[in-house]
Structure 1
Amino acid sequence: MTYLQLAYLHLATVLPAFVIGTILLVNRKGTPRHKLMGKCYMLLMVITASITLVMPAHVGPRLLDHFGFIHLFSLLVFYHVPNAIVAIRKGNVARHKSSMLGLYIGGLIIAGSFAFMPGRLLHTWLFT
């Protein structure tokens, strides 16, 4: 797959994840709808994080001529998703909530903000 194809695939998973994550944040928790949407959200986040690992960094220093600082957010997803699942299955709502907020803020808000920085593809698409 080309970088551009991966970028489109990444957007196709991260945009619905952002919408679902936002809905989950503002709506009532613990309902069957919340649980179903949460599973979809986590799946989309894992897929999008996996896609980003295949995409080489184009901005900043790179490790192994591929991985950049932005890839740390993928690792954040791979930590918080299982952590949140284990927490809620054990009834630890506070840890689940903390992991989900960390995933949303770190994986979507902060990482998404970096995507709009000069030199990145999304910045080029939107601002040039």
Structure 2
Amino acid sequence: MDAFTPVITLHALAATYVLLLGPLQILRRRRDLAHRLIGVTWVSAILTVCISSFWIMPDGFSWLHGLSIWTLVCMVVAILGIRAGNVSVHRGFMIGSYLGTLTAFAFAALVPVRLIPQLLRSEPLIAVITALGVGALLLLVHVSVVRSAGQRPPRPQHEREPSIAGT
């Protein structure tokens, strides 16, 4: 694995987005439409990371691919959990997925023969500009979504209080 192929580039950009957005979603106190919309972008990015990992196999199948499979399972459980109204299951699996992504990043960043340390040694400016670019995109998405959809979504009809007219 000597170069940033298109798959590795896509994987790295999506992973950077996941790593930067994770704390914003986890620490944001309001659980509203903005949280939901931004969460869709996060899930899309984590799915991109997991699926693209199967085209990055310099040494064959590794524990990182097992982590990708587990993360895909976690995304399904988290989404089913929140659709069933179980916030604690949703929160637990989403936070666990984020921590798994941090673990994979630590491995990718700390093992000297991996691409991230090689890039930081040979082209640090590219690494910094890429991270800042993804961060700027994230900030733009976050601010625009929070501003345009920051109100709480309407409650489903079955959760609303009956009107005065009794309907």
Whether these two folds match at TM > 0.5 is yes
Taking the aligned partners of 2:4 and 2:68, their CA distance within structure 1 comes to 17
Between the aligned residues of both structures, percent identity stands at 24
Taking the aligned partners of 1:54 and 1:7, their CA distance within structure 2 comes to 8
Measured after TM superposition, the shift of residue 79 of structure 1 is 0.8
TM-score (norm 1): 0.85
1:93 is the counterpart of 2:94: no
1:30 is the counterpart of 2:31: yes
Task: Note the residue ranges of structure 2 that are not aligned, 5 or more in a row.
Answer: 123-167
Bigger Rg, which one: 2
Which residue does 1:110 correspond to in 2? 103
Q: What is the total number of aligned residue pairs between the two structures? A: 119
Measured after TM superposition, the shift of residue 7 of structure 1 is 1.4
Which residue does 1:121 correspond to in 2? 115
Which residue does 1:78 correspond to in 2? 72
Taking the aligned partners of 2:30 and 2:90, their CA distance within structure 1 comes to 11
TM-score (norm 2): 0.66
Task: Note the residue ranges of structure 1 that are not aligned, 5 or more in a row.
Answer: 59-65
> Larger relative CO (CA 8 A, sep 6+): 1 or 2?
2
Answer yes or no: is the 8 Å Cα contact 1:28–1:34 preserved in 2.
no
Deviations 1:8-32 (A, max 9, x none): 1111211112222121011124211
